[in-house]
Amino acid sequence: MTEFAVELRDVVKRFPNPGGGEVIAVNNVTLQIKNGEFFSLLGPSGCGKTTTLRMVAGFEWPTEGEIYINDQAMGRTPPFLRPVNTVFQSYALFQHMTIFQNVSFGLEMEKVPKPEIQERVEAALEMVQLIGMNSRKPKQLSGGQQQRIALARALVKRPAVLLLDEPLGALDLKLRKEMQLELKSLQEQVGITFIYVTHDQEEALTMSDRIAVMNKGSALQVGSPVEIYERPNCRFVADFIGETNILFGKVKALDRDKVWISLHKPSCDILGFPLRDFRPGQEVVVSIRPEKIRMIDNPTLGMGAAPNAPNCFPTRVIKTTYIGSDSRLMIDFGSDVHLIVWEQNRLSVIDPLAYYASGQELWVTILPENVLVMPQEESK
Amino acid sequence: MISQTAQSHPGRISLVKKLRENAQLQGLTLVSPTVIYLIFTMVCPLILVVIISFMTRGHYGDIIYQFTVANYSRLVDSLYLRILGYSLLTAAMTTLGTIFIGYPLAYYIARVPSRQRALYLFLILVPFWTNFIIRIYAWIMILRTEGLLNSFLQWLGIIHAPLEILYTPTAVLIGMVYEFLPFMILPLYTSLEKIEAAQLEAAADLGARPWRAFLRITLPLSLPGMTAGSILVFIPAMGMFVVPDLMGGAKTILVGNLIRNQFLTARDWPFGSAASMLLLVLTLIFTLFYVRRAGFGEELLV
């Protein structure tokens, strides 16, 4: 078996624009998706993730570059000759066929013998936990059940790669969370490579082995969920995955593996972790995750911070929002710059000091490792 | 102000109020113009035809109100049965013809970008701007011995003697298919247009080659449109008499011509009424049978 299930080499897709000219949907994307991997394409709508998936499926052909599936160049191979199957966003179940006919369709096309079809369809329906509905029509099922049928219909073909185009988009939040875990365990169970398209960063982080973050047709960063979240390689990735506070500044000095940044607003110095090599004077963007900012009442009491220690700043609470597990604070960082801070509500509700009130004067401290310094311009 | 009005027109206010609150009454108000119109223009004439079909013809074409079933027993004559059989055949051929010619076009229109679709659908309806009889005369100009078609084929050297098309059953079929084509294309288009592109992509994704995807997905999903179109074509085609009259010459007599001749030429209203009833009953039977087999409208999609 080859190492990569799917490989995209310098793939470009241009569509003719109805108003004249061309639109670049996918711009020079190179990806290597390993065998048995749960790989997500994550990005905002219109970033080219669905077009990328459709090119792997064979519904679209690349304008430039080449797609390899199991080391075979796909070229202009039509979808019905590719060893991949798709779960569509709209499910695309055949409404005029029963559940059994839907799931057996792909095997019939392969001319699999009847008894084997029966066996494999039953097994596929059992795998998605839908038994005893063989003669129903898709319209008689709930959204979640239709989703499972779509999954069974694709998996019954035992594809080399399963392509999923926002398959949970139409489900309500609770069902979606359930299905996320189910899909992940199903993928581990069958060991098939999954390529999963989503715009939901939480979904991608929950399920994926690796994620490619896409924007404007380019794959900006490819990495594990931890890498993508903790070490984004550009402002877009930092901003798109989770929430973050973005500040602007200039490199003041290099300090071993850290950099001193003098912020433009408010004018103060902050010690941060450089994601690239920087030289003094360079304009940079600083990203700080809200949950990585610690609030402390009194820095003189220790707790790893002191008024003169790096990254310890006096602030004032502007607004607090209680959301149960967390309190979300907006704090005044000076010069009208507001920071978002998430504090876990670790203390008891009966402790009046457990929660913050607007107007409260506080100190914040941030570990330099969590102050991510990246170049001003988009990385690609 | 309001209470004053209510006092001065208590009756009117209560009627408006009743109408506002009573959904059934609202429905009745909305359907009544159509219902009243149809009672006078369809139900009453139909009852008259039923009654007349059991009456006797007078010597001068008048109706003698004397009960008889003779009109119906007269229909069971090999001559009339042959006309009936021939009408059924022509209507069936017309329906098939419109399906074979209309399906590819409807398929094409359902697939072009939506802005172009409106234009194509509009073009399909353009012929209705001209009177039907005039369009049939245009066909006569094309098909007759010295017509456009024959001159063109002779000019090309494909044929040396003009083809005898006009005043044959072929000419009738050409005219009928031409006349009823839009009635097949429009419902076919409606059901083809409803088929999501993802359905065909899913079929291809699961290994179906285009032709199999057509047979297994597109064709079954367009069946409701085909049924609706077939009913819209078959029923009027059964009663059509203008096309066979003008394009079929005296040789082609369909049941529609028979009925018209009985009323207008032979002045035998009772016999014409009986033939009308037979046509009506036969059409109903065929339609019911067809709908049972193929389903009607949305039924198949549920």
pLDDT at residue A270 tops 60: yes
Provide the ipTM. 0.82
Residues 188-247 of A with CB under 8 A from B: none
Contacts 24+ apart (CB under 8 A), A130-134: A130/A99, A133/A99, A134/A98, A134/A99, A134/A100
Which of B196, B206, B221 is opposite residue A90, by nearest beta carbon?
B196
Confidence of residue A301 (pLDDT cuts 50, 70, 90): low
Structural contact between residues B243 and B73, judged by C-beta atoms closer than 8 angstroms: no
What is the band of A351 on the pLDDT scale with cuts at 50, 70, 90? low
Q: Is the pLDDT of residue B22 over 80?
A: yes
Residue A300 reports pLDDT greater than 70: no
For residue A260, the one-letter residue type is W
Over residues A1-33, the pLDDT tens digits come to 578 999 999 999 999 887 778 899 999 999 999
- The pLDDT, as a whole number, for residue B190 is 92
Asked if A140 is an interface residue toward chain B (Cβ–Cβ < 8 A), one would say no
Which residues of chain A lie closer than 8 angstroms to B206, CB-CB? Answer: 80, 85, 105-106, 109, 153-154, 157
Local structure of B79: helix, strand or coil: helix
Q: How far is B97 from chain A (nearest CA, A)?
A: 26
Q: What is the CATH number of domain A4-238?
A: 3.40.50.300
Whether the model clears a pTM of 0.95, i.e. scores above it, the answer is: no
Domain A243-375 fold = OB fold (Dihydrolipoamide Acetyltransferase, E2P) (2.40.50)
Q: How many percent of chain A have pLDDT more than 90?
A: 49
Q: What is the nearest CA distance from A97 to chain B, expressed in angstroms?
A: 9
Count other C-beta atoms under 10 Å from residue B22's C-beta.
Answer: 12
Query: In chain A, which residues have their Cβ closer than 8 Å to the Cβ of B199?
Result: 92, 94
- Residue A182 pLDDT more than 90? no
- State the pairing for strand pair A38-42/A193-198: parallel
Determine the pLDDT at residue B15: 81
Residue range A295-311: mean pLDDT, rounded: 65
Instruction: Please report the DSSP string for A187-228 in residue order.
Output: HHHH--EEEEEES-HHHHHHH-SEEEEEETTEEEEEE-HHHH
CB spacing of A105 vs B221 below 8 angstroms: no
Say how many C-beta atoms besides its own lie within 10 A of residue A329's C-beta. 26
Collect all residues from B whose CB is shorter than 8 A from any CB in A.
113, 196, 198-199, 201-209, 212, 216-217, 220-221, 300-302
Query: How does the average pLDDT of chain B come out, rounded?
Result: 87
The letter for the amino acid at B122 is F
CATH code for the structural domain at B76-300:
1.10.3720.10
The answer to whether the CB atoms of A105 and B196 lie below 8 A apart is no
Do A90 and B198 make contact, defined as CB atoms within 8 angstroms? yes
In angstroms, the CA A68 to CA A345 distance is 50
User: What is the amino acid identity at position A367?
Assistant: L
User: Quick one: average pLDDT of B34-41?
Assistant: 95
Q: Are A64 and A221 in contact (CB under 8 A)?
A: no
User: What's the DSSP call for residue B162?
Assistant: -
- Closest-CA residue of chain B to A58: B205
- Report chain B residues whose CB lies below 8 A from the CB of A78: 204
pLDDT(A354) > 70 = no
Looking at residue B299, its pLDDT comes to: 38
Q: Per-residue pLDDT averaged across A336-363, rounded?
A: 78
The answer to whether residue B301 scores a pLDDT higher than 60 is: no
pLDDT value for B6:
46
The answer to which of A81-90, A172-181, B264-273 has the lowest mean pLDDT is: A172-181
| A positions 98-127 inside 8 Å of B (CB) | 105-106, 109-110
Count of pairs with CB atoms under 8 A, one residue in A, one in B: 65
Confidence band of A380 (pLDDT split at 50, 70, 90): very low
Candidates A181, A115, A184, A176; CA nearest to A147 is A176
pLDDT band (50, 70, 90) for residue B5: very low
Q: Are B207 and A90 an interchain contact pair (Cβ–Cβ within 8 Å)?
A: no
CA distances from A211 to A44, A199, A220, B281 (A): 14, 12, 10, 68
Q: Would you state the pLDDT for residue B302?
A: 30
**Which of B115, B191, B206 to mutate to probe the A interface, most A CBs <10 Å?**
B206
Q: For B222-246, how does the pLDDT look when each residue is reduced to its tens digit (9 = 90+)?
A: 988 998 899 889 989 988 888 888 8
What is residue B47's predicted lDDT score, i.e. its pLDDT? Answer: 95
Residue range A246-273: mean pLDDT, rounded? 84
pLDDT above 90 for B166: no
Q: Which residues of A178-213 are buried (b: 16+ CB within 10 A; e: fewer)?
A: ebbebbbebbeeeebbbbbbbbebebbbebbbbbbb
What percentage of residues in chain B have a pLDDT greater than 90? 42
Give me the mean pLDDT over the A334-360 stretch: 77
The pLDDT of residue A299: 63
For A207-218, what is the mean pLDDT?
Answer: 93
Q: Where are the domains of chain B?
A: 76-300
CB atoms B208 and A109 under 8 Å: yes
Comparing alpha-carbon positions, the chain A residue that sits nearest to B301 is: A96
Least confident of B34-43, B44-53, B153-162, B208-217: B153-162
pLDDT at B294: 66
Is A15 at the interface with chain B, CB within 8 A? Answer: no
